[in-house]
Amino acid sequence: MPRSHDSLMKDRSNTYQKVFFIVLWVLCTFGFVADEIIPPLDQIRSPIFLLCDLTIAMLGICVIRKWQDLALSATLLLLAFFSTYFINGLSLPFFLNGLREFVGLMFVMPLLRYFLEEEGRRKRFERAFDHNLYLFLFVQAFCLIFQFLKYGAGDHGGGSFGNWYSGQVSTLIYLCSFYLLNKQIDRDNFLKSLYDNKSLILLLAPTFLNETKISIVYLLLYFILLLPIDRRLVVRMTLFAPVVVIFVWMGVNIYSASTRNSEDTNKFSIEYISEYLLLEEVEHAKDDAEWNMDSNNGVADVPRMTKLLYLPILDEENPGHILTGFGVGQFKGGTSMEVSEFAEEYDWLLMGSIPYVFHLYIQLGVLGVVWFLAFVVNLFMAPITDGRRWTRNWNICLFALIVITILLIYIDILRKVEFCMIFFAIVCFSWQPEAEQVEIES
């Protein structure tokens, strides 16, 4: 009898897994290697990243079969093509190049579902994933310390991702450490368990060497959500508060010491935080940004909240784009492909730190934001089903859910395939087979 489609794919699962991790490490380390070790490699950065995107897309296409994944990928593809090609009249190559920023959303989950839905594949992938995350954390510590010593605190501190990836590396360090610590922690002997796993906590320290202010928020969430989530959570938080305060105090002091020589301002003052997030007069955002571009070699980083509050003004200036946006690819181009007329006119608004909801709205409008919310519901609510009973690690789930909520207004790293590969896998592993069911099967 002919072998089933699942059987044929099972034969290739080990190969697919190896390719998955090869692509992950290429994406996670190429930047540092090209920036600090072999600078000529920077010339092939774009083709290397394109090859990685295509590889993940091809693997995802090979294994996709769940109707939810098919529906989400197909609707995003149709929406992106309709908005880019028909509504905004952009070229097919421009559309394909812009679609690369959604490869992680379209194809990583089908691939992870394939690895995790069969018990043998799941155990093999989980062992490899955990091992690679430990290695990832040590690599980031080395790279961040090197970058701090060479450049000081700042956006150069992107870890193994290289320059300008400070937000991504800090977010991933907290996610990876939190996920790994949750698998080791004994909540009946909480403080002793923290001490026994102190290496995972110490590996958080380099996140305060790159001027990433969100690390303070992540650190607070990290320790609060390590506590058991039950009726006694408030009592435990009260008892554990002194420990949390000590760690946050240490984090603030490391951050302050590492950034002391860069600026004289207090970066935890209300005035600084307000200016960091929002200009006082949104309607003057363009004038302020263009002045900064003239004064800072073409660089203008409009505050995140100002970008979001400017959207109604943008809609008035460009009517007819609320539902479907301006087409994918507005944040790409400028190297091997020309930028669009819209991106050229609003370059001052599209550069710098980009909240992910802004990234979605500009390219795909309200429908793109709605699509992403549907994707998040499926990501967090749909378990990996293989006939067994499953339980949820709510600590990991809530930490990941808060992180993705923060990213919507903080940074657009969900467009990065490597971030999706790690983040979505951690969300998937918040589902675990019930212990008694595993014992019966063994």
Question: Is the separation of the CB atoms in 293 and 348 below 8 Å?
Answer: yes
Is the pLDDT at 441 greater than 50? The verdict is no
Is the pLDDT at 191 greater than 60? The verdict is yes
* Per-residue pLDDT tens over the stretch 259-277: 665 554 555 444 555 455 5
pLDDT score of 295? 65
Give the least confident one: 21-25, 79-83, 198-202, 207-211.
207-211
How far apart CA 78 and CA 414 sit, in angstroms, is 20
Q: Check residues 1 and 358 and name the one with the higher pLDDT.
A: 358
**The most confident of 179-188, 229-238, 328-337, by mean pLDDT:** 179-188
* Per-residue pLDDT tens over the stretch 123-141: 999 999 999 999 999 999 9
How far apart CA 299 and CA 392 sit, in angstroms, is 45
Angle at 122 between CA 118 and CA 128, to 5 degrees: 155
Question: Is the separation of the CB atoms in 409 and 214 below 8 Å?
Answer: no
Please give the average per-residue pLDDT across 337-357, as a whole number: 90
Long-range Cβ contact pairs of 374-381 (< 8 A, separation 24 or more): 374/72, 375/72, 375/105, 376/404, 378/68, 378/72, 378/109, 379/109, 379/424, 379/427, 380/427
Q: How confident is the model at residue 154 (pLDDT cuts 50, 70, 90)?
A: confident
pLDDT score of 101? 96
Sign of CA dihedral 285, 286, 291, 293: positive
Please give the average per-residue pLDDT across 291-313, as a whole number: 78
Question: Is the separation of the CB atoms in 140 and 357 below 8 Å?
Answer: no
**pTM for the full predicted model:** 0.89
How far apart CA 381 and CA 372 sit, in angstroms, is 14
* Per-residue pLDDT tens over the stretch 40-69: 999 999 999 999 999 999 999 999 989 999
**H runs (alpha helix) in 260-355:** 270-277, 285-295, 304-309, 311-317, 341-345, 347-350
pLDDT score of 1? 44
Long-range Cβ contact pairs of 373-382 (< 8 A, separation 24 or more): 374/72, 375/72, 375/105, 376/404, 378/68, 378/72, 378/109, 379/109, 379/424, 379/427, 380/427, 382/68
pLDDT score of 438? 43
Please give the average per-residue pLDDT across 338-356, as a whole number: 90
Long-range Cβ contact pairs of 287-292 (< 8 A, separation 24 or more): 289/348, 289/349, 290/348
Please give the average per-residue pLDDT across 311-316, as a whole number: 93
**H runs (alpha helix) in 87-189:** 92-99, 103-116, 119-151, 166-184
Question: Is the separation of the CB atoms in 392 and 401 below 8 Å?
Answer: no
pLDDT score of 235? 59
Average pLDDT over the chain reads: 85
Give the least confident one: 32-41, 195-204, 237-246, 334-343.
237-246
**Spatial CB neighbours of 102, under 8 Å, sequence gap ≥ 6:** 76, 80, 328, 415
